[in-house]
Amino acid sequence: MPQEAQSGTIHAMSASEAILSREPSEIRTLPSNVEAEAAFLGAVLIDNRILEELQTPLKADHFFAAVHGRVYERIHTLIDRKAVVTPVTLKPYFETDEGLKELGGTAYLARLTSDGQGLLNPRELAEQIYDLALLRELITVGRNLVEGALDTSDSVAPLEQVEKAEAALYAVAEGAQTGSEAQSFGVATRTSLEMIEKALLSGGHISGKTTGLTSVNEKIGGLHDSDLIILAGRPGMGKTSLVTNIAFNAADRLRRDMADGITLKDSVGAGVAFFSLEMSADQLATRILAEQSGISSEALRMGRISREDFQQLSFASQRLAELPLYIDDTPALTIGALRARARRLKRRHDIGLIVVDYLQLLQGSGRSGDNRVNEISEISRGLKTLAKELAVPVIALSQLSRAVEQREDKRPMLSDLRESGSIEQDADMVWFVFREDYYVAAKEPKVPQGNDDSKTQEAHAAWQAEMERVYGLAELIVAKQRHGSTGKVRLRFEAKVTRFSDLAPDDMRANSYGDDE
């Protein structure tokens, strides 16, 4: 090895020793490789393109030496500005850095590049830095877990501790969380710009996951990560049908995008975790098969299909075989168990959307003292926390109170949400499904016979005209939306195959009254 290279190695090592000597008792108990950090930073300063090819999700927080983390963060900032980063361009930003002064000041930046050995294996160095950060975080989780388990006071709930431990382990599995208590506004801004750019390039102006319904996407901009969406309605309105349609549409879009070579990051589709607490997995599958084959679900259940229908059904099932849609039909789940299962699906299948059918069938932790309102509040908060923790949209179905049936106008309102105002408070969006034909059909007057008077015939004719006006028409009422306006979206509903779809452009009912309220 040339003398200059040897000298550079000695300088880099002495700098590492200076870092290690500051807190020897703590540092020696935690996995770290300060030399690897210095070598990696030196390689990046020599060739900035290394960061473009880096596959490891390395962040400043993953560096053990705080000064190395600050250098790495500044390198990223300058590269984002399209600047070439060298020790010379970094120097102005670190002239007053106290941590760097302990290592010899800005001359340390130049010493990082004096040994170019990091250029031989920058990916391996990045992976090692990342893996050691995970181990340090795992040690922290383990220490907290032991301390919590040793606390035997009455206020401690063991199951809650288990859930917290699992959440912490999930966070470690997703990436080291060291120092992630807050993020700079610059990082938040970059994330926001990426979302806006995705909406711009999507063609459909979708910044989140697609619902598969153009009119709904235009109203809400897609399903946004970390959002809790409450979908509510009275029995018979089609809540489960709509959410099943959305789940299929999102999963099918991801399948098609992946087949077309579109990356998961750029796709507006999503793998879906469907927690069905009311219906079994095979019943949900029958609904989706009915929708895709065009054969009524009733005919499928009864076996009243022809050979041609069965062949059509086989083709539909082949298309659905590779669908990234995962159904969990375990009954009576607690909110803690649901969150644990969702984390597992996120880790194994990288799901991008969670559906819960329905909220009132979930159970709380049992600490609510048999108070159902408190239990529902705990469940809604838990679902919102899950959405933020996994950074995916969560759609939860909810019942409505019977107060709707007592009004002349049956359209639901926020005050109709059953059992707890916290549902409205925790939700980022609240949707109501309303089908007027359901109520009009229930008011059918006496069917006129040959000898009936004209009033009976007129009443039935008026009812028929009203039924024709509303038949197959559904409304999705966006009653709350943090990101935009409220209003109504009109949809077509085919009860035979339980399918919601956009109204045809030439359907006059689509423009019968304004969308916005």
Residue 357 has which token pair? 């059918």
Q: How confident is the model at residue 453 (pLDDT cuts 50, 70, 90)?
A: low
Largest CA distance in the chain: 115
CA distance 30 to 211: 46
pLDDT at residue number 431: 92
- Average pLDDT over the chain reads 78
pLDDT at residue number 7: 42
pLDDT tens digit string along 21-34? Answer: 555 444 456 888 88
Q: How confident is the model at residue 195 (pLDDT cuts 50, 70, 90)?
A: low
CA 277 to chain centre: 20
pLDDT at residue number 510: 54
Which residues make beta-bridge pairs with 492? 473, 501
- Cβ neighbors of 476 (< 8 A, separation 6 or more) are 216, 242, 431, 432, 433, 488, 489, 490, 491
**What whole-number percentage of the chain has pLDDT above 90?**
9
- Residue reference for tokens 């019977």: 402
HSE-CB for 516 with a 13 A CA cutoff = 5
Pairing state between β 429-434 and 473-481: antiparallel
User: What's the residue count for the chain?
Assistant: 517
Residue 111 has pLDDT above 80, yes or no: yes
Average pLDDT of 101-110?
83
H/E stretch holding 372? helix 372-390
- Cβ neighbors of 145 (< 8 A, separation 6 or more) are 161, 165, 168
- Cβ neighbors of 423 (< 8 A, separation 6 or more) are 230, 359, 376, 380, 398, 417, 430
Pairing state between β 272-276 and 325-328: parallel
Tell me the torsion sign for CA atoms 90, 92, 93, 96. positive
Residue 292 has which token pair? 């895709």
pLDDT at residue number 202: 55
Task: For the chain, list the domains and their CATH numbers.
Answer: 3-182 (1.10.860.10), 205-431 (3.40.50.300)
pLDDT at residue number 369: 54
pLDDT at residue number 396: 92
Residue 8 has pLDDT above 60, yes or no: no
- Residue reference for tokens 């499928």: 300
Who wins on pLDDT, 65 or 188?
A: 65
**What whole-number percentage of the chain has pLDDT above 70?**
79
HSE-CB for 494 with a 13 A CA cutoff = 16
Cis bond before residue 358 (omega within 30° of 0): yes
Residue 303 has which token pair? 């076996």
pLDDT at residue number 243: 92
pLDDT at residue number 2: 44
pLDDT at residue number 356: 93
Residue 15 has pLDDT above 70, yes or no: no
CA distance 504 to 489: 13
Residue of 291, 423, 268 whose CA lies nearest to 360? 423
Q: How confident is the model at residue 6 (pLDDT cuts 50, 70, 90)?
A: very low
Average pLDDT of 259-268?
84
Residue 447 has which token pair? 């069917």
Dihedral-angle region of residue 310 (phi above 0 means left; psi in -120 to 50 means alpha; beta otherwise): alpha
- 481 vs 61, 222, 424, 427, 466, CA distance in Å? 34, 12, 11, 9, 32
pLDDT tens digit string along 292-310? Answer: 877 777 777 777 778 887 8
Residue 234 has which token pair? 């009275």
Residue 12 has pLDDT above 60, yes or no: no
Average pLDDT of 473-494?
88
Phi/psi of residue 209, nearest 5 degrees: -85, 145
What is the three-class DSSP state of 121? coil
Indicate the residue type of 409: D
Which residues make beta-bridge pairs with 276? 357
Q: In what order do the strands lie in the sheet with 394-398?
A: 325-328, 272-276, 353-357, 394-398, 228-232, 429-434, 473-481, 487-494, 499-502
pLDDT tens digit string along 209-222? Answer: 888 888 898 888 88
Q: How confident is the model at residue 3 (pLDDT cuts 50, 70, 90)?
A: very low
pLDDT tens digit string along 356-381? Answer: 987 888 887 665 556 777 888 888 88
Residue 229 has pLDDT above 50, yes or no: yes
Residue 170 has pLDDT above 60, yes or no: yes
CA distance 305 to 301: 10
Q: 98, 9 in Cβ contact below 8 A? A: no
Residue 180 has pLDDT above 60, yes or no: no
Average pLDDT of 149-174?
69
| pTM, rounded to two decimals | 0.66
Residue 62 has which token pair? 């993953």
The CA-CA-CA angle for residues 355, 357, 361, to 5°, reads 130
